[in-house]
Amino acid sequence: MGATLAMANEMMAYTLTDKGTFLAYQGDLDLITLLDTGDILLNVYTVLICKNGVNPEMAQNLVDFLRANYVQDLIAEFGVSDYGESLFYPYNPEICD
């Protein structure tokens, strides 16, 4: 994605990228964002437990871990110290359940 941003910058072109990569490269680019909020950009990461999985208890442990408040706090803070804003949004049951 970094190479794509560099090429778009050189060609003065448009491209679609994730926010994290853009923030990581923005100091080297003359690009600006045209759209960076809204449901159209929602990219939900999902964990599914397979019905016929080998170890459903461990799968449930992973789900419970990822949904734990302290992990959600880590997700919400990820990137803030480096980029001034979070790169991910914590679990939202209104969207994800």
26 shares its domain with 68: no
17 shares its domain with 50: no
33 shares its domain with 14: yes
22: burial class by Cβ within 10 Å (0-12, 13-18, 19+)?
buried
9 shares its domain with 49: no
The answer for residues whose C-beta is within 8 angstroms of residue 50's C-beta and 6 or more apart is 56, 59
Q: Would you give the distance in Å from CA 11 to the centre of its chain?
A: 26
* pLDDT tens-digit series, residues 7-62: 999 999 999 998 888 988 999 999 999 988 887 777 778 889 998 999 999 999 99
d(CA 54, CA 52): 7
96 shares its domain with 53: yes
The answer for residues whose C-beta is within 8 angstroms of residue 48's C-beta and 6 or more apart is none
Structural domain for 27, as ranges: 1-38
